[in-house]
């Protein structure tokens, strides 16, 4: 990757160019390449905007932002290798990513040990940041997400019986399933079926037959976007007419694969049609650069870079500890996905967006704030 830097002088003393080196870990290949593409596009846009202005001004010095991209192949072992290369060989000041919780969790352990700030835009599993002082997320976490979907199912939609189908081999899916089950029961509902599968055995026909026999009013599918359309299609073919609910990974489901999901609801981080303020300008810039609408991965990743740039400016340098300390004391950062503020941990207090699938489109339903 090559960026062109135009230096702008300041009187007779030109600003000295230095570097802010940022590592990016993204699933460019593997099972969720669409997430990797969105991650890289957002990162390039954020970095390009800064460098085209002549660089990031930190304590009256000009810094060229260097983006170092690693493909983790959506694999935990490759993720660890990528993190180690960025930390030990590329001497980065911070790492953006990984995205999926199954990769962010192992990467977080190494970032914490090496004392390098790590900001995961999309990871929602609480384990990513638990007991960490150097690891942050931009998204809300799964405890909030699972609870709000359980309340929505029981209180707003009025369902008394729920079922869950989830991938037990993935931390993200498993934790969301557990939170939803506990929260739905706490509301007074019954979880009449709780079925699991694994990525290496994705045929869920028998699980869906057992769910159908239990006659739930709602079926929660906290699974990745590359699996949900087939699960929904099979459920409908088997005659299962339960309301389908999902989670934030659903935003990556292509329009051509949404037929069986008509009328379903899911929670996410960003509603493109409800963008205002700086989010409107961000949307326009992204559309100009890539000729498509930004999704939640794009918006969250862009916010991660924005927060990192702001922390470096507040700190007045690029050393990892100073950036980490600045992140803790930024106060509220107004990003394109909403207000982001860290207090006692790397988990921000953030609102969620509830979307409904209508005629293949994601339609804004409401915004849900933390209680």
Tens digits of per-residue pLDDT, 275-301?
A: 667 788 999 999 999 999 999 999 999
What's the fold here for domain 142-268? Rossmann fold (3.40.50)
Look up tokens 């205002």; give the residue.
276
Residue range 202-231: mean pLDDT, rounded: 96
Q: What percent of the chain has pLDDT over 70?
A: 94
For residue 26, pLDDT over 70 is answered with: yes
Q: Are 217 and 162 in contact (CB under 8 A)?
A: yes
- Please compute the mean of the pLDDT values over residues 266-278 and round it to a whole number: 80
Residue with tokens 């489109």: 361
Judged by DSSP in three states, 186 sits in helix
% of the chain at pLDDT higher than 90: 85
**Topology given in CATH for the domain delimited by 19-140+275-349:** Rossmann fold (3.40.50)
CATH 3.40.50.2300 placement within the chain? 19-140+275-349, 142-268
Distance of alpha carbon 94 from alpha carbon 65, whole angstroms: 12
Distance CA 349, CA 121 (A): 14
How many beta carbons lie within 10 A of that of residue 166, not counting itself? 25
CA–CA dist 122, 26 (Å, integer): 11
Q: What is the mean pLDDT of the chain?
A: 92
């Amino acid at each position: 990757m090559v960026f062109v830097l135009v230096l702008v002088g300041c009187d007779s003393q030109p600003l000295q160019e230095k570097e802010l080196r940022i590592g990016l870990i993204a699933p460019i290949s593997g099972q969720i390449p669409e997430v990797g593409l969105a991650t890289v596009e957002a990162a390039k846009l954020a970095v390009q905007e800064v460098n085209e202005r002549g660089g990031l001004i930190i304590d009256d010095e000009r810094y060229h932002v260097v983006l170092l991209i690693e493909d983790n192949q959506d694999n935990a072992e490759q993720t660890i290798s990528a993190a180690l290369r960025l930390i030990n060989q590329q001497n980065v000041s911070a790492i953006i990513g990984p995205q999926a919780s199954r990769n962010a969790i192992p990467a977080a352990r190494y970032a914490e040990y090496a004392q390098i700030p790590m900001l995961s835009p999309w990871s929602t599993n609480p384990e990513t940041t638990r007991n960490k002082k150097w690891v942050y997320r931009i998204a809300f976490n799964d405890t909030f997400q699972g609870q709000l979907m359980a309340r929505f199912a029981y209180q707003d939609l009025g369902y008394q019986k729920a079922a869950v189908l989830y991938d037990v081999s993935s931390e993200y899916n498993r934790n969301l399933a557990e939170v939803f089950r506990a929260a739905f029961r706490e509301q007074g509902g019954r979880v009449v079926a709780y079925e699991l599968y694994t990525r290496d055995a994705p045929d869920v026909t028998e699980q869906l037959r057992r769910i159908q026999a239990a006659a739930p009013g709602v079926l929660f599918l906290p699974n990745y976007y590359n699996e949900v359309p087939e699960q929904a299609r099979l459920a409908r073919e088997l005659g299962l007419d339960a309301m389908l609910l999902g989670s934030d990974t659903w935003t990556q489901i292509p329009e051509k694969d949404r037929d069986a999901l008509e009328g379903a609801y899911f929670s996410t981080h960003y509603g493109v049609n409800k963008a205002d303020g700086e989010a409107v300008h961000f949307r326009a810039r992204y559309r100009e650069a890539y000729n498509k609408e930004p999704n939640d991965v794009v918006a969250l990743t862009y916010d991660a870079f924005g927060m990192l740039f702001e922390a470096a400016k507040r700190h007045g340098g690029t050393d990892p500890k100073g950036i980490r300390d600045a992140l803790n004391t930024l106060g509220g950062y107004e990003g394109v996905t909403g207000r982001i503020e860290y207090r006692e941990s790397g988990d921000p207090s953030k609102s969620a967006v509830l979307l409904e699938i209508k005629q293949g489109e994601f339609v804004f339903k409401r915004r849900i704030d933390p209680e």
